[in-house]
Amino acid sequence: MIRKSVAFLAALGFSYAPARAADGPAANWKYDNPFCQVVASLAPVPDVVAAVTPVGGGSRYVLALYTPAGTTLAAHVTLVSDTEAYDAAVSDGDLSGPLADRDLVPVVVTLPQPDRISYFFVDSYSLDRGASVTCPSYVFPAGETLSGVPAGLRTIEARDLQSLGSLSCGHAYAPARMRGDLESPVGRYGGKPLTVTVRAYIDSNGYSIREEVVQSSGVEGMDQYLLGAIGVHQFAPAQFLCVPVVGTVEVTLRYFP
């Protein structure tokens, strides 16, 4: 689907880094995802491999799907190039792997025409043959080209959804980012420099739906301050095809006594 007060602080610095769409999912279910119960990885197959086993007249990608629980999985994954959007419909397949770390045997996706995918996201999924669940557009970049592809993988053909045309915002994807400054904390935090980094999952309105400490300062008060400050701050949401979407931001607070 497309569509202030400062007290007892000698020096204090904030920085942030977008964490989406920059990080692909790990091979195992290690990526905590509050937006969707399924994540994917996508990587192109080099032309030389495609030439050995021709499968039609389009570019090929290996698509893998991961979920923390379930026995079967079907999904629709949207693939986006500079000019087109495609739907890769993965039919029901058996999940394997231990509990809390399930995955589907990868499939080879063939595009209906030569093209190069830049971004993708899981549009919807169905676990255990249940009702289809729609996910927000949580965008990932396509991975690096594979050196090869395992033999025997199922092949599916993506369907052309629409042409994108020119983008009024000038870019296909822009990560979530800071809008304005956080208020500075009040209190004493010891006599040595401290650094704390918090990851925030940002909805399409720019508000965090969950925060987690990535790197603790070792001082609970400093960690809790940043968690709270991010929880009430309004960020500029990520944009995909000029439309606000969900994303992730990492904010680092550095304290210098």
Q: Which residues contact 223 (CB under 8 A, 6 or more apart)?
A: 196, 198, 213, 216, 217
Give the total residue count for the chain.
257
Categorize the per-residue pLDDT at 7 as very low, low, confident or very high, splitting at 50, 70 and 90.
very low
- Per the structure, the complete domain to which residue 229 belongs is given by 11-20+175-256
* Helix/strand/coil for 152: coil
Share of the chain above pLDDT 70, in %: 81
Q: Is residue 179 part of a domain?
A: yes
Angle at the Cα of 171 from the Cα atoms of 168 and 174, rounded to 5 degrees: 120
- Tell me what pLDDT residue 46 has: 75
Same domain, 103 and 206: no
Residues 26-42 have a mean pLDDT of: 75
Q: Is residue 31 part of a domain?
A: no
- Res 163 pLDDT > 70: yes
Q: Is residue 33 part of a domain?
A: no
Same domain, 229 and 126: no
Residues 206-235 have a mean pLDDT of: 93
Same domain, 195 and 116: no
- Tell me what pLDDT residue 180 has: 85
Q: Is residue 109 part of a domain?
A: yes
Q: How many domains does the chain have?
A: 2
Only one residue has tokens 């039609």, namely 56
Same domain, 159 and 180: no
- Tell me what pLDDT residue 108 has: 93
Q: Which two tokens stand for residue 206?
A: 């720019």
- Res 27 pLDDT > 70: no
Same domain, 16 and 120: no
- Res 72 pLDDT > 60: yes
Q: Is residue 26 part of a domain?
A: no
Same domain, 46 and 147: yes
- Which of 163, 192, 222 terminates a domain? The answer is 163
Q: Is residue 220 part of a domain?
A: yes
Q: Which of 157, 150, 146 minimizes the C-alpha distance to 56?
A: 157
Same domain, 144 and 191: no
Same domain, 143 and 186: no
Same domain, 148 and 45: yes
- Tell me what pLDDT residue 9 has: 28
Q: Is residue 210 part of a domain?
A: yes
Same domain, 145 and 193: no
- Tell me what pLDDT residue 79 has: 97
Q: Which residues contact 254 (CB under 8 A, 6 or more apart)?
A: 12, 13, 14, 15, 193, 194, 195
Q: Is residue 170 part of a domain?
A: no
- Which of 130, 163, 196 terminates a domain? The answer is 163
- Tell me what pLDDT residue 152 has: 85
- Which of 163, 184, 215 terminates a domain? The answer is 163
Only one residue has tokens 């629409």, namely 162
- Tell me what pLDDT residue 105 has: 93
- Tell me what pLDDT residue 187 has: 65
243 to 76, 86, 169, 170, 177: CA distances (angstroms): 20, 17, 9, 12, 15
CA separation for the pair 103, 139 (Å, rounded): 19
